[in-house]
Structure 1
Amino acid sequence: MSTQLSFTKQEQGARSRFRELLTQAESTEDVKKFFYQTVRDLLMDVCGTLPAFNIQDVQLDLDQGEGYTLSDRLMNEADLSNLMHGSDLDDILGRLSKNAWNRYRQLEKNPAKSEQKIFPIPGS
């Protein structure tokens, strides 16, 4: 039986910061940006060093409407494939994406309310 790495300590810190960010999200774009930032910080905490990557490398899976995607470039250059299979990192990222999707759908249902927060109408 192989050893399974656990990153629950890192997850706890990331989840609490992520919850705070999601409550501040005023648009679906904010949710995507905050998801990227949280995953980036978590991966840096877990891996120590990573190749340079950007928001296109870490995305909510908009095609499926759930989950997340990591770019092939990031998976290969950071050797995340082995880490994902030998740890609970995939599950952690799945839980973070589930929280992001809940907030994303909530904001998506009422875009007028989001726009009013972003572009307030004077006198209202």
Structure 2
Amino acid sequence: MTFQRSFSKQEQEIRSHFREMLSKAESVEDVKKFLYQTVRDLLKSICDSIPEDINIPDVQLNLEQGNGYLLSDRLMDGAGLHLLMQESDLDAILHRLSEQAWNRYRHLEKNPAKTESKIYPIPGI
């Protein structure tokens, strides 16, 4: 029997804040940024070897597939996340977070005029 680490406690700690951030997202770029921030915070709370200079390109929505997430090779190799993904529920947690982000992303993508009006309001209307 293999030992499986669980990070569900850390997931619960970030989940409500992530939902709140997504609800306030006004553009698809906000969704990407909020996913990055949440995953960065999660990884820093569970892994000591996360580089300090982690940035947005290291954590992304998988735009080519239209679902899921991508972590950069630099992050996967530098922090030793390959093994951690195999020995824990981290991959499942990241899929759940990306699923929430994709739902909000698609919603905002369908209504670009509404997003634009929030970002660039027209005076008098």
Task: Show the 5 A alignment for 1:41-120.
Answer: 41-51=41-51, 52-120=53-121
Quote the Cα distance in structure 2 between the aligned partners of 1:122 and 1:97.
36
Quote the Cα distance in structure 2 between the aligned partners of 1:76 and 1:58.
14
Identity of aligned residues (%): 67
The aligned residue for residue 17 of structure 1 is: 17
Quote the Cα distance in structure 2 between the aligned partners of 1:105 and 1:48.
34
5+ unaligned residues in a row in structure 1: which ranges? none
Quote the Cα distance in structure 1 between the aligned partners of 2:96 and 2:86.
16
Give 1:115 deviation, angstroms: 0.5
In the alignment, is the contact (CA less than 8 A) between 2:26 and 2:118 conserved in 1? yes
Amino acid at match of 2:28: T
Quote the Cα distance in structure 2 between the aligned partners of 1:26 and 1:64.
23
1:28-86: per-residue Cα shift (whole Å, max 9, x none)?
00000000000000000111341121110100000000000001111001000000000
5+ unaligned residues in a row in structure 2: which ranges? none
Q: TM-score, normalised by structure 1?
A: 0.97
Quote the Cα distance in structure 1 between the aligned partners of 2:112 and 2:10.
33
Quote the Cα distance in structure 1 between the aligned partners of 2:15 and 2:59.
17
In the alignment, is the contact (CA less than 8 A) between 2:7 and 2:88 conserved in 1? yes
Quote the Cα distance in structure 2 between the aligned partners of 1:62 and 1:119.
25
Give 1:123 deviation, angstroms: 1.4
Calculate the aligned-residue CA RMSD, in Å. Answer: 0.7
Q: TM-score, normalised by structure 2?
A: 0.97
**Stretches of 4+ aligned residues off by more than 3 angstroms:** none
